[in-house]
Amino acid sequence: MSRFALVDCNNFYVSCERVFNPALEGRPVVVLSNNDGCAVARSNEAKALGITMGAPVFTLEAELRRHNVAVYSSNYALYGDMSRRVITTLGQMVPDLEVYSIDESFLDLTSFRKADVPELCRTMVVTVKRNTGIPVSVGVGPTKTLAKVAAGLAKKHPCLGGVCDVTDAVWRERALAATDVGKVWGVGRRYERFLKVRGINTALDLTRADGAMIQKRMGVNGTRLLSELTGTRCYPLEANPPVKKGVGVSRTFASGIEEQTALTEALSTYAERAAEKLRKEGLRAGIMEVYAMSNRFHRQNFYYNTKTVRFPAPTSDASELIKGALSAFEEIYKEDIPFKKLGLHMRELTLESQEQRLLFDTVDRTRSSALMKAVDAVNGTMGKRILGYASSGLSDPKTWRTRFNHKSPSYTTRWDELLRVS
Ligand SMILES: [Mg+2]
């Protein structure tokens, strides 16, 4: 029988902030989305105050002040680096690991003896906390879906010490009965309503539901969900995620931007970033789609346009991507339109290792890839954007930069922002 564990970091963004600012312990904390728009992470204390996920921050201001809530902008450099540390620590204990999201990993424990699993899980909780400062919950079960159910209970009930194992039938039934059907992996809002109308309120109810009815409404994924909940594995560990279909970089601006220079600087930066993302994954793109839109709430004057650029050969060269993006944008740009969102999407991705050279190529591929390697090496060791392209703008501050007015320092990724103890 297979055995999976799901390791889930508790209130991850908030926990990252607390590692470097222990005064936040016990205090309500929220972390905001891009442009400080709405709450995307909450500490347990903030949840208890009734602050909901996705609540726009301007509706919360009075309440945040009244309860002395600590408010932070998203610090992606910090969260990404802390996530890497957690994953590295887990990988040293269990080699079969699938990174599912920034704060969740699946581990395949099938090769461990059943008797050793409880001790292993407790060690994971303690070691991750000691090595990184991040508290985690561990759920164990014969399928990924059951491991996720178990992790939910481990988080909800501190008396379990951060670990919940639903391998045994008795515990599994109790766990399923205690889990709201809307919280089951893959159910989602729409199906939750459909199921509850039919009296299926818990995960346990779902395992007893009519299979034909579930398949009719939820399709093959519904059938798989039932099997997974009853202990039959349908989803294997995906240790090597499939090759990506696309790479995208886009931003929504805090307010509309009309100025062409600002917009081309922003787009040039996104192209640079997209090229970097491609290289990091060992990929090249054959096509780039550039798109831009005005504020979608201003219906009468709504403007959306997109242009596709096809490269002579698949590429991950930043200067080629920038050139393509800027020429496409010249056809999209219109004066007097306040642009609210701008982005690009790279498609037709191929692996660098499957490169086919053109007979008459205008780009010196060997030279270009050496240059890109050098740029990545410098930026990798000395900090982001030490080397960049002039078209992405040299002056600061920039109107198009995403607003992060309450961001904590990049404690772990920038030398000049190291935590000082005085
Ligand atoms: Mg989490």
- Alpha carbon 21 to its chain's center: 23
CA of residue 103 to ligand 1 center, whole Å = 5
Residues ≥6 apart with Cβ < 8 Å to 25: 18
CA of residue 186 to ligand 1 center, whole Å = 16
pLDDT value at 4 more than 80: yes
Q: Quick one: which of 275, 226, 207 has its CA closest to 247?
A: 275
CA of residue 137 to ligand 1 center, whole Å = 8
pLDDT value at 253 more than 80: yes
More confident residue, 38 or 195: 195
- Check if the beta carbon of residue 61 is closer than 8 Å to that of residue 39: no
CA of residue 70 to ligand 1 center, whole Å = 19
CA of residue 218 to ligand 1 center, whole Å = 26
- Check if the beta carbon of residue 316 is closer than 8 Å to that of residue 283: yes
Give pLDDT tens digits for 202-217.
Answer: 999 999 999 999 999 9
pLDDT at position 235 is 93
Lowest mean pLDDT among 188-202, 319-333, 337-351, 373-387: 373-387
CA of residue 293 to ligand 1 center, whole Å = 33
Give pLDDT tens digits for 65-99.
Answer: 999 999 999 988 899 889 989 998 998 899 888 98
Q: Which residues pair with 285 in a beta bridge?
A: 315, 349
CA of residue 102 to ligand 1 center, whole Å = 9
Percent of the chain past pLDDT 70, that is, above it, reads 94
Give pLDDT tens digits for 255-286.
Answer: 889 999 999 999 999 999 999 999 988 899 99
- Check if the beta carbon of residue 139 is closer than 8 Å to that of residue 151: yes
Mean pLDDT of the chain: 89
pLDDT at position 58 is 85
The pLDDT-based confidence of 38 (bands split at 50, 70, 90) is confident
- Check if the beta carbon of residue 285 is closer than 8 Å to that of residue 247: yes
CA of residue 101 to ligand 1 center, whole Å = 9
Helix residue spans in 94-143 (DSSP H): 117-132
CA of residue 133 to ligand 1 center, whole Å = 14
CA of residue 250 to ligand 1 center, whole Å = 25
pLDDT at position 31 is 94
Lowest mean pLDDT among 41-45, 46-50, 202-206, 410-414: 410-414
The pLDDT-based confidence of 350 (bands split at 50, 70, 90) is confident
Sheet bearing 70-73, strands edge to edge: 39-42, 29-32, 70-73
Place of tokens 């191929």: 350
Q: Which residues surround ligand 1, an ion (CB under 5 A)?
A: 8-9, 12, 103
CA of residue 30 to ligand 1 center, whole Å = 14
Distance CA 293, CA 333 (A): 10
Give pLDDT tens digits for 183-196.
Answer: 999 898 889 999 99
pLDDT at position 395 is 58
> What are the tokens at 83?
């996530």
Sheet bearing 163-165, strands edge to edge: 97-101, 104-108, 4-9, 136-141, 163-165
- What value does the mean pLDDT take over residues 223-242? 88
CA of residue 120 to ligand 1 center, whole Å = 20
**∠ CA(406), CA(47), CA(131), 5° rounding?**
70
- Check if the beta carbon of residue 2 is closer than 8 Å to that of residue 233: yes
CA of residue 104 to ligand 1 center, whole Å = 6
CA of residue 378 to ligand 1 center, whole Å = 33
- Check if the beta carbon of residue 150 is closer than 8 Å to that of residue 141: yes
- What value does the mean pLDDT take over residues 142-156? 97
